[in-house]
Structure 1
């Protein structure tokens, strides 16, 4: 078990190409060994069958001669013959044998009791001389027991098998070398794109920007799909890095003004003794800027969360209830301004992410109350499986030069940073629409401004 574990650990530490070549070599070795064994067995069986047929025919002729008491007939080239009595004494024998017994004592005993003995003398490997296949049977002649031994040379059969073994070894070796080479070249070719991907990834690790893997467009295999997946991952990483850079840039750019104002207010307050009323005004100003910082930070964090998540969780919600909740916080503001807030929503259930859509509608209503005039209309209906939501007002509308950049971060119709709002409201609305797989559009209707959201539901 420990040796197996060590071999497994050693194998896993090898390069992938080496492991593949070893796997191919081992598999091909097993296949070639099995095929060679089958071929050898079939040829050996055929040769043995022919040799046994010759031996049996020779044995019969000897048996007949012994029974008839005639001269023993000659056999195949190089064959031998021997006739023994019941006690194992040699009665007749080939000149090459003289009085040398071909059978052992045990074999003599077995044949004397009626068994037929067949065995080989000499081995295939290593090469030996005088290789034979003999067969012995008991024969009754003139009421006397005789043991007849017939033997034929195995030289041609053994030579053919040795030649076959040599040819099979050479053919298997060459086939194994060729298969290993083809496996090596195939593995290298298959893994070459992976090495290119690794090299490109190394350049990314060294700080290269906007690098993408060179993936062929006319292939559709596992390596190609891996390349597309890695490129998609690099796109996501670049987008994430870009969001982080934008977040840091936006935060540092937009937070500087309120922080500077807070510092200025505090410096003035500490410059000389102030009355209680002056200190109260200073604290109120600082509180305003702090609230502005909080709103700005929350807006930036919401945008970052939407951008990084890249998707929403759509759940069934009643459309009318969602809009009523979204505008509830703004009704008192509208009443104080003497304006009307009208909600006209279809009585249907839609699949949207209320967590994000609710504040998006609130931002649109807040913008309409802050920058528009007259009544604010919030209408929503479902057409062809898509939710079409509009917020309109009766104000002057968007400035023509502002419309193309209305959904940009920190875009304001009033370029002064002292104006109300962070410039992130419409950017947040577009982020919500994009996360839902929809669109956001701003336009002037001639009687005011309209912002339209179209979302799948």
Structure 2
């Protein structure tokens, strides 16, 4: 079922329900008013008859019957009965061989002084009347409200016709206004069908930028931007990965081809194998870096499931770096001893923190002539802050904003081995951990990378 039809039907059902309640309420109120009005007329008729019969001696029973028959009233033919204390009929205004009455009803009238009830299709009113001699009479008046019921029937017929007409009109207007309201969505659907994988930069029209449909278009445009960004990252990753892997693979192939051109001595083969091992290690390191970059970009890891002490991670990295590179120098110290151990404890994953600070410390040592990295730890009430400094080649000012881009390498770093993906991995991991990474640098004087991570 289309949304337009669904909205129109729901709107129609709501209006039909409200109109039905309104119509029923009007009908019941009209019926209640008719009944009260008729009962009041019966009571007045009963009291008038009793007063004429009992208090006006010049009017006898036969004359009163003639007056009753010739009275043009909506109560005609109303039947009036007057009973004395002995429940004997003192007067009745209609011809009948036998007068039927209920002694229980008369007793109830004497007890309550006034009773309204119904018998068959007729309404009945019973009331007490007292003459000048303090003698009590029970007066009954009964009649069928033919004219009132006809009016009520006309009201019901009119309301049914009006109800059906209103519901029919609601259906038509519901379809019209639902279609008009959903027209912008139809336009959005048309625009979406024209967007392809090669045209993700195209945006939807946001209309007045105020209503819910405009909000939908804005959010869809944001989603398109994120998808386009992901596609661009994927393209960049594939392109750069292919480029970076091609060079060492080509070198390995060349060395193998050269080795196979002629017979060589054992020391020569050993030298070639050492060179191949070096290239293989470079490939492994590059491949691991690419895998880490892909995981960080796809956010595949659940990284906020451990409490990790940053200082312990740094001392562990120091031990590993010095073990693998004995000529490196790594110094770690606190700028201020934290007041609380939780100030250097973060929510994260130890392997990811090792990747971040391992890359930063390794870079600091690699790009410095003295192979020295200085690490400083400090904390405040919100964050744990780690700075990694070196006295190396530095970064040109115009290139600082690009150093965190995947596979980007500065001009003065091309003579050093590397793939240019380490800092981009660091930035992505720090972002996942809810922190920030920045750099201060001056060419020829060194660099300082600052990592700010929220602690627990």
CA offsets 1:406-453 (integer angstroms, 9 cap, x no match):
333323346897851212222223333333331321402764333333
**Cα 1:455–1:55 shift into 2, 3 Å:** closer
Q: 2:430 matched to 1:433? A: yes
Kindly provide the CA deviation profile for residues 276-327 of structure 1, in whole angstroms up to 9, marking residues without a partner as x: 3333333332222222222111111212222222995275433321211122
1:343 counterpart SS class: strand
Is the aligned partner of 1:23 residue 2:19? no
State the match for 2:345 in structure 1: 350
1:43–1:263 Cα change, 3 Å:
same
Structure-2 separation of matches of 1:383 and 1:327? 24
Q: 1:60 to 1:398 in 2, by over 3 A?
A: closer
Contact 2:79 2:93 in 1 (8 A): yes
TM-score for the superposition, normalised by structure 2: 0.72
Q: Following superposition of structure 1 onto structure 2, how do residues 250-329 of structure 1 map, counting pairs within 5 Å?
A: 250-309=240-299, 312-313=303-304, 315-329=306-320
Return the alpha-carbon distance in structure 1 between the equivalents of residues 149 and 435 of structure 2: 81
Is the counterpart of residue 422 in structure 1 residue 409 in structure 2? no
Taking a change above 3 Å as real, the CA distance of residues 81 and 186 of structure 1, as seen in their structure-2 partners, is closer
For the aligned residues, what is the CA RMSD?
A: 4.1
Structure 1: 5+ residue runs without aligned partners?
1-13, 85-91, 122-132, 138-147
How far apart, in 2, do the equivalents of 1:220 and 1:437 lie? 35
Distance, in Å, in 1 between the alignment partners of 2:439 and 2:10 is 61
The answer to whether the aligner puts 1:367 opposite 2:363 as a matched pair is: yes
Cα 1:18–1:61 change in 2 (3 A) is same
Equivalent residues of 1:377, 1:391 under 8 A apart: yes
After TM superposition, give the deviation of residue 356 of structure 1 in Å: 2.2
1:3 corresponding residue in structure 2 = none
Distance 1:382 1:293 in 2: 38
The 2-side partners of 1:65 and 1:239 are apart by 103
Say if 1:82 and 1:421 are closer, same or farther in 2 by CA, change over 3 A. closer
Counterpart of 2:160?
169
Show structure 2 runs of 5+ residues with no match.
82-91, 107-116, 127-138, 339-343
Contact 1:243 1:304 in 2 (8 A): no
Q: Please give the alpha-carbon distance, in whole angstroms, between the structure 2 residues aligned to 1:46 and 1:83.
A: 23
Do residues 74 (structure 1) and 67 (structure 2) align? yes
Q: Contact between 1:388 and 1:452, CA under 8 Å: does it hold in 2?
A: yes
* Distance 1:265-1:356 versus aligned 2 partners, 3 A rule: same
CA distance in structure 2 between the aligned counterparts of 1:83 and 1:409, rounded to whole angstroms: 107
TM-score scaled by length of structure 1? 0.72
Alpha carbons of structure 1 residues 176 and 54: separation in structure 2 relative to 1, 3 Å: same
**CA contact under 8 A between 1:376 and 1:393: conserved in structure 2?**
yes
Q: How many residues align?
A: 404
Report if the CA contact (8 A) 1:395-1:448 is conserved.
yes
SS class of match (1:204): coil
SS in 2 for 1:70: helix
8 Å contact 1:200–1:211 — kept in the other structure? Answer: no
